[in-house]
Amino acid sequence: MEESRLMKYVIDENGYIVRSYNPDDPNIPDNVVDAWEGSGFFKPRYDRERGQWVEGATQEEIDEILKGINPIDEPVSEVEQMKEQILDLQRVCNVLMANQS
């Protein structure tokens, strides 16, 4: 029988990961669970009754995570872009002038 090459995890009583093991580690305990295959989870939780990994995060938690990962930026006006460029130039000039002293 072929051994799984997936990471191995020790999980707590709620199914959340408390420790991970590389599959090549010779000291893996017997009570580990193989990692999930396929799509990732935001907060993986092992459902012992179903014998599979499930999403442990609520929809609100997922929305909050996604907000930080993929923020929707308002388009920047040309004037705002020019203000940023002027500030960058001022910073460079300040550094150059400070190095001349």
Q: Where are the domains of the chain?
A: 8-69
- Tell me the whole-structure pTM to 2 decimals: 0.57
pLDDT bin (cut points 50, 70, 90) of residue 2 is very low
Q: Report which of residues 76 and 41 the model is more confident about.
A: 41
With H, G, I as helix, E, B as strand and everything else as coil, classify residue 87: helix
Nearest to 55 by CA among 40, 68, 70, 38: 40
What is the pLDDT averaged over residues 8-19? 91
Task: For residue range 72-96, list pLDDT tens digits in order.
Answer: 566 778 888 888 888 878 877 777 7
Task: For residue range 52-73, list pLDDT tens digits in order.
Answer: 999 999 999 888 888 776 555 6
